[in-house]
């Protein structure tokens, strides 16, 4: 009997429903980054996407540590989805391309094709030192030297790898920038 109870998921789920939440509070967002992104949005006369963003991650030559931290965003401690941010399986469903790696020559075409499949408006975010400018790999024959070698980049999130909190700050800034301007004039 005890053993059967131990194997059941319900008591465990109930315990967690009654316990203290494990999810962290949201990090603060940099007003400066939001302002820059909002300006970019105006400039491009892009349609606003509303209070939720679908993200397609593209590894363009990462060492896989950036992916580990991006994946960690989905765990219950960061709980990305509570902000209206979610990862999608197809670029055709995406508002954001989250690109890591120094952009290897062997991935350039795949990245460009992924961008072609992504509907407008689309934000391109370069994640990690590699994606920003090629990082440690910038002088190699095998890399293009950062995402901007192939695509215009809207936001960079540096770090090697950036922590989930840093990633979240960047993504929340994107959300903020898209929020419709408030009528009452309050910032």
Partner 1 sequence: MSALDLLRTGSPQECRPVPRMLLTRPQWGALAEALVADTGPELMALWADPASVYLLLREGATLHLVSCPAPDGRYPALSPARPGAVRFERMIRDLWGHVAEGAVDLRPWLDHGRWPVAAPLAAKPEANGAAVPQPEFLTVEGEGVHQIPVGPVHAGIIEPGHFRFHVQGETVVRLEQRLGYVHKGHIGLMLGKPAQVAATLIARLSGDSTVAHGWAFAQAVEQALEVSPSPRATALRAVMAELERLHNHLNDWGFVCNDAAFAWPHAQCGALREGVLRTCAAAFGHRLMMDRVVPGGVAADLAPEGTAAILAALDAVEAAMPGLLAVYEGHASLQDRVVGTGRVAPELAARFAAGGHVGRAAGRGFDARAALPYPPYDALPPEVPVLAEGDVDARVRIRIAEIGESLRLLRALLADLPEGAVQVPLPRRGGEGIGVVEGFRGDCLHWVALDEAGLVRAAFPRDPSWLQWPLLEAAIEGNIVADFPLCNKSFNCSYSGVDL
The footprint of ligand SF4 (CB under 6 A) covers: 62-63, 65-66, 100-101, 128-130, 135, 160-161
Nearest C-alpha neighbor of 114 from the set 87, 136, 144, 94:
94
In residues, how long is the chain? 187
Stretch in the footprint of partner 1 (CB under 8 A) among 28-36, 145-153, 156-164, 172-180: 156-164
| Phi, psi dihedral angles at 55 (to 5 degrees) | -115, 135
Complex with ligand SF4: residue 104 or 114, whichever CB lies closer: 104
Q: Tokens in use for 87?
A: 């990862």
Supply the minimum distance, in Å, between the C-beta of residue 134 and partner 1.
9
The three-state secondary structure class of 126 is: strand
- Contacted entry of ligand SF4, partner 1, none for residue 67, CB cut-off 5 to 8 Å set by kind: partner 1
Strands (E), 113-170: 123-127, 155-157
Task: From residue 168, give the alpha-carbon distance in Å to each of 10, 90, 112, 128.
Answer: 32, 21, 25, 13
Stretch in the footprint of partner 1 (CB under 8 A) among 29-37, 42-50, 86-94, 119-127: 86-94
List residues binding partner 1 (CB under 8 A). 6-9, 12-13, 22, 57-72, 74-78, 87, 89-91, 101-102, 104-110, 114, 136-137, 139-143, 160-161, 163
């Amino acid at each position: 009997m005890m053993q059967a109870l131990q194997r059941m998921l319900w008591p465990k789920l109930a315990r967690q429903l009654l316990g203290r939440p494990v999810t962290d509070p949201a990090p603060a967002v940099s007003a400066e980054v939001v302002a820059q992104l909002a300006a970019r949005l105006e400039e491009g006369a892009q349609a606003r996407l509303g209070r939720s963003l679908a993200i397609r991650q593209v590894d363009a030559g990462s060492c896989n540590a950036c992916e580990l931290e991006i994946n960690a965003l989905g765990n219950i401690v960061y709980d990305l989805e509570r902000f209206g941010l979610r990862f999608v399986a197809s670029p055709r469903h995406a508002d954001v391309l989250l690109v890591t790696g120094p952009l290897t020559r062997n991935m350039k075409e795949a990245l460009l094709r992924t961008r072609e499949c992504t509907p407008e408006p689309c934000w391109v975010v370069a994640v990690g030192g590699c994606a920003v400018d090629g990082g440690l790999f910038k002088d190699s024959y095998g890399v293009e030297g950062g995402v901007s070698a192939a695509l215009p980049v809207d936001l960079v999130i540096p770090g090697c790898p950036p922590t989930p909190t840093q990633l979240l700050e960047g993504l929340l800034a994107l959300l903020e920038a898209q929020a419709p301007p408030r009528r009452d004039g309050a910032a």
